Amino acid sequence: MTESVMLQAYNIIILRLSFEGFFRILNVRNEGESMDYSKNERILDLYERLCAGRTLSKAEEALRFGIDERSVQRDIDDIRAFLAERNVAKGENRQIIYDRQQKGFRLVGSPSPLMTNSEILAVSKILLESRAFTKEEISIILNKLVAGCVPLENIKLVSDLVSNELFHYVELTHPAGIQDKLWEIGCDIQQHKLMQIHYQRQGADVASAVERIVEPVSILFSEYYFYLNAYITKEENGKYNRKYDYPAIFRIDRITDYKILEQTFSLPYATRFQEGEFRKRVQFMYPGQLQRIRLRYTGTSVEAVLDRLPTAKVIFQDKKGSIIEAEVYGNGIVMWLLSQGNRIEVLAPQALRDEMKKILTEILEQYKDETEV
């Protein structure tokens, strides 16, 4: 490698336009080679080995490069200055410390918060699979994601990997974009203000939208749609109090109009809504009372049940199958249970078991031939 190339590389570092991967392609001399290094090469070599997790001894590096220890210290200080600038400009948190136990310098802290190529590709695929946005919205989001996080030399490669799927992207049936609505509702959740919404129910027209005064507590995404979790309120003596002790679920694209009210609501820490816990117990965003269910699973992969129901636990297992218990909200669980066919039997509660019997009987009636009627 020529001296001019090494000098250009060092200048790139000083200007904070380099990435760690750049140093790995420099292919500096092996540790056993002669010591005719320039200052630029020394700094690149030291930095590369620090990034690789090596601990560097000042005395050993002086011997290795054929310089005195003060020169090694100056090189370390130059790298420290470079890292300090990157910490400010790139949001990194890395520094070189002296480890007294190992008697040498090493690099500690978090690297760049920028995503890797593989992370960008994975996130892009997840966004496309979600079908949560209009085609125009998803195109803009992906372009920003790739342009802002992918190194210049890999932009075309990453773009090509998602281009075909983006070309064949099919929007959902709701035409309106919801990004602005998501942000405004999210801000209201943080401010704990009541919200007046007009909600268009399934199968109803816009004119028949119902009005609700709600306490918004979270936004969730599930099966193609964004949802608002909010407690429905009722007015009592000029104040709005919760009508039910569990939140209702509103699909955000069906909120035809909304208004942030000035009245706030209290959210005690002890009884605060925890969306992570709620998500573990709700299926297909069907609300309702919390219930404990017991199932017998006779399929080949009990892991599939445990993955689908995060609260599920296997309490007994034998050759006939597994007995599983889980906590769920409402009857959204019925949709998933039906999808499992004869591999699952509801054991408890009795009301859920009866509901399954009723639905299965109705399905059987639908499939009867005319000669059987």
d(C-alpha 59, C-alpha 315), whole Å: 61
pLDDT surpassing 80 at residue 333:
yes
Average pLDDT, rounded, for the chain: 83
Residue 27: the pLDDT is: 38
| CATH topology (fold) of 3-110 | Arc Repressor Mutant, subunit A (1.10.10)
How do residues 276-307 score in pLDDT, each as one tens digit? 888 888 888 887 888 999 999 999 889 999 99
How do residues 83-134 score in pLDDT, each as one tens digit? 888 777 666 778 899 999 989 999 988 765 567 778 888 999 999 999 988 8
Burial 55-64 (b: 16+ CB within 10 A, else e): bbebeebbeb
Each domain of the chain, given as residue ranges in start order, spans 3-110, 117-167, 179-272, 278-366
DSSP letter string, 184-235 = HHHHHHHHTEEEEEEE--TT--GGGPEEEEEEEEEEEEETTEEEEEEEEEEE
Both structure tokens of 270: 């002890």
- CA 153 to chain centroid: 26
Question: How many CB atoms neighbour CB 216 within 10 A?
Answer: 26
pLDDT surpassing 70 at residue 233:
yes
Say which residue the tokens 């007994």 belong to: 316
Say which residue the tokens 């991967």 belong to: 21
Residue 285: the pLDDT is: 86
Residue 20: the pLDDT is: 41
Three-state SS annotation for 289-316 = CEEEEEEEECCCCHHHHHHHCCCCEEEE
| CATH topology (fold) of 278-366 | Alpha-Beta Plaits (3.30.70)
Q: Matching CATH topology for 3-110 and 278-366?
A: no
Residue 373: the pLDDT is: 56
pLDDT surpassing 90 at residue 8:
no
Average pLDDT of the segment spanning 342-359: 95
How do residues 248-278 score in pLDDT, each as one tens digit? 999 998 999 999 999 999 887 777 788 888 8
Is the preceding omega at residue 247 within 30 degrees of 0, hence cis? Answer: no
pLDDT surpassing 50 at residue 19:
no
Confidence class for position 371, pLDDT limits 50, 70, 90: low
Name the least confident of 7-21, 152-166, 345-359.
7-21
Residue 218: the pLDDT is: 93
- Give percent above pLDDT 90 in the chain: 44
